[in-house]
Amino acid sequence: MTELLSNYLGGTWQPGTGAGTALFDPVLGNELARVDATGLDLAAGFAFAREQGGAALRALSYRQRAALLGEVVKVLQANRDAYYDIATANSGTVRNDSAVDIDGGIFTLGTYARLGDTLGDRHFLADGEAARLGKDPLFQSQHVLVPTRGVALFINAFNFPAWGLWEKAAPALLAGVPVIVKPATATAWLTQRMVRDVVEAGVLPAGALSVVCGSAAGLLDALQPFDVVSFTGSADTAALIRSHPAIARRSVRVNIEADSINSAVLLPQDGPGSAAFDLLAKEVVREMTVKSGQKCTAIRRIFVPETLYAQAAEAIGARLSKVTVGNPRHDSVRMGALVSRAQFDAVQAGLAELRMHAQVLHDGARQPLVDADPALACCIGPTLLGVTDADAAAAVHDTEVFGPVATLLPYRDTAHALDLVRRGQGSLVASLYGSDAAALGAAALELADSHGRVHVISPDVAQLHTGHGNVMPQSLHGGPGRAGGGEELGGLRALHFYHRRSAIQASTAVLGSLA
């Protein structure tokens, strides 16, 4: 029988008491491990994290907690090879895609270790300058940020089992808040292994980092008023979380990062043969194929001037035709599998729905698989759809297929393009392509209100930009409306979610003593 992965809660490793849910290799189909959380005393585990882990972390300064993050980085770097093997087997990703997840997570941790060191040996953060409360300057008000005295519960998505943990855990631990992570079941193995390695290395205080695998049943029931929840996943699940009594009645703080229908826009000044046109085609193909399109930031809609529709379809299709799909263990394979049979079926269903409203410009189903059985492997080639009337294509603006699928749409002028982008009702990211700096800047500001990030790619940064879908710790990750209304990362801004703001009204002598 395959291994039953243990949970780490209350400072001890605890297997579930049930048979568990199986994790599979999405290419070969064999069972890899099982996860189960049946029988765990969640209330006791959460209390241990709050009381033991929280107290130990708060006793340290920001600089000391930053040093702990640096030690975690060393542990993870020492075990990178094992993480890559797990990602290949459980997520079906090629090595470059695994790097986005694994090395991206380690990089984010390292970034927050460096940022935290700049905060020094303080135990709170000043929020602005002190303000007079009357004519006499002796009595003033100083806003401060202090770590919340609760736990940070992370309910994560299946597509980034490594980065999804550490991009949340890095600012939480730096803020002085203990972490309990519930990874998505399908790819929980990598998250569990990383937590295990860090726990066994003994670099964090007891209760600072916990993991619960398997069902999420009961997790929200264990929340208390000063806890915080960060969720990444579907809008439907997000709505259930927001309506839970712990959230609605106990005022538990929640951050939601939901999938969104992100866009790429080629501005009208640049046509075929231009650097901007080629940059668009290249980036669209990369976003469609990295992680097999299973990224919440992936490009789903591509907007080009209506006079360039045919040329854009040809250019993108030509690049897609060169993408090799199949078993990620082969060096010749550029795109691996979807993470599970359930995800494969969901992508097929979504693609069938979109095909009722769009034509197929490049059919990924016709691409042969490398060393993978089509009847068994959860592999699907990249598919480019097209719609000639972007205004009438309601389904394309409302339906996301979480896989290697994108739709090409034409627009009349820049104003029309930006109106079409906004039909996504709020997105994590939009990217703009062009060579006119003023036009790009104006368009970026027009889209800023409805996007967490606007990624502007001009020829002068062709070799420098970080990518439409790459989430960098220095920049905001999140978005309004459909994207969930949440905010993560953004440098030290991420710490605010894990702090409570209070105004201390006192004499200047008392306020001076705080430092």
Q: How confident is the model over 343-383, as pLDDT tens digits?
A: 999 999 999 999 999 999 999 988 899 999 999 999 999 99
Active-site positions read: 257, 296
Phi-psi region of 275 (alpha: psi -120 to 50; beta: other; left: phi over 0): alpha
As beta bridge partners, residue 147 has 499
Q: How confident is the model over 419-470, as pLDDT tens digits?
A: 999 999 999 999 999 999 999 999 999 999 999 999 999 999 999 999 999 9
Q: How far apart are the C-alpha atoms of 286 and 363, rounded to whole Å?
A: 17
Report residue 161: phi and psi, to 5°.
-65, -20
The two beta strands, 125-126 and 139-147, are antiparallel
CATH 3.90.1150.10 fits 262-474, yes or no: no
Q: How confident is the model over 239-248, as pLDDT tens digits?
A: 999 999 989 8
% of the chain with per-residue pLDDT over 70 = 100
Mean pLDDT over residues 88-108, rounded?
97
Q: How confident is the model over 485-498, as pLDDT tens digits?
A: 999 999 999 999 99
Task: Name the pLDDT band for 2 (thresholds 50, 70, 90).
Answer: confident
Q: How far apart are the C-alpha atoms of 489 and 469, rounded to whole Å?
A: 15
Nearest to 133 by CA among 124, 141, 144, 125: 141
- Cβ-Cβ contacts under 8 Å for 502 (sequence gap 6 or more): 143, 144, 146
CATH superfamily of 4-259+488-514: Aldehyde Dehydrogenase; Chain A, domain 1 (3.40.605.10)
Q: What is the DSSP letter of 217?
A: T
Instruction: Give alpha helix (H) positions in 92-162.
Output: 95-117
Q: How confident is the model over 177-219, as pLDDT tens digits?
A: 999 999 999 999 999 999 999 999 999 999 999 999 988 788 9
Q: Return the structure tokens found at 297.
A: 């930031």
E strands present in 334-450? 359-362, 369-370, 383-386, 405-411, 427-433
Q: Where are the domains of the chain?
A: 4-259+488-514, 262-474
pLDDT score at 1: 58
Task: Name the pLDDT band for 141 (thresholds 50, 70, 90).
Answer: very high
pLDDT of 275 strictly over 80: yes
Mean pLDDT over residues 279-297, rounded?
97
pLDDT score at 386: 98
pLDDT score at 380: 95
